[in-house]
Amino acid sequence: MGKKYQFTFTILFIILTILTIQITLKTNSTLVEKASSSNISQETTENTITEAVWIDNITFDAGIKINEIMPYKSDYIAIGQEDNTPFMQLIHVENDEVINKGFPYLFTEGTGEVVDITIHDYFITTTIDNNDSIITQDFIEYNDHFIPFYKKQIQYNYDKDLTINPKYLVIHETANTGIGADADAHYRYWNSNPTANASTHFVVDSTQIYQMLELNQAAWHVGDNHNHSDITNLNSIGIEVAVNEDGDFSEARQNAIELTIHLMKTLNMDISQLKRHYDASGKNCPTNMLQQPELWNDFVQQVEQALN
């Protein structure tokens, strides 16, 4: 073969090689794009609740309008309205199938609809469009129910300059059986009486929960221990259970159990860190659970089971 033909063949070979490389690169690029698109699509499908197959199989009562079904722990919460009343409901799902729906929650005050929820460590915040403005309401969820939760900082009766690292969670009872002596009443008392010389982090009644101090603030709830134990205001969180006669103590105690579970999970506590005021100082508190030990035993058992 002449040099002229050899040169021409070499040029053609180089051109064909370049074209082959370009085609290969383009093909691989297309495959990568398709693979990436497929992954994104799959990820989006898994994380966008409205695309889940089981959504189409959920039925709600007449008058209920669902705005969105949102993830909550291993389950979901449906939010919306029922006849212009804010509405939400827990939905249990397993293997993309609805197992059952929890108890519907209808907001007892106001109109409008729930348009969003935000998940916090131990409570959730609902965002409500009440037709005139956007408002929020907090809740603690337990056993398919939602307990109204109010986080309101008190201005008196605690150590303002101290930060604590909670080691114990201490259960109390308010010992106030008066009509109306619920969680809200105790919040208002401690927030308005600078000489009360007592406080706690949470007060729980049969219908609501109040948080009055942050978890790292020192309440005045076991200061009477007189070296009875190593449990002090500087290493413990206090929960008061209301005993007002117009409330339901059984429900209040159960609400306190559920709050305790949420808090101990948040703080990575074990059951040995759950105490009574009696354990801290020898005081006759929580009175009902001391007089009826089975109530305290049940309290501890439910918490321990949930922690495990």
Q: Where are the domains of the chain?
A: 54-147, 152-307
**Contacting residues for 170 by C-beta, under 8 A, at least 6 apart:** 221, 222, 231, 236, 237, 238, 239, 275, 276, 277, 279, 280
Residues 152-307, CATH architecture: 3-Layer(aba) Sandwich (3.40)
For residue 86, what are the β-bridge partners?
Answer: 81
pLDDT at 76 over 80: yes
- DSSP category for residue 163: -
pLDDT in tens, 153-189: 999 999 999 999 999 999 999 999 999 999 999 999 9
**Contacting residues for 101 by C-beta, under 8 A, at least 6 apart:** 58, 78, 89, 90, 91, 92
pLDDT in tens, 226-272: 789 999 999 999 999 999 999 999 999 999 999 999 999 999 999 99
Query: What does pTM read for this prediction?
Result: 0.80
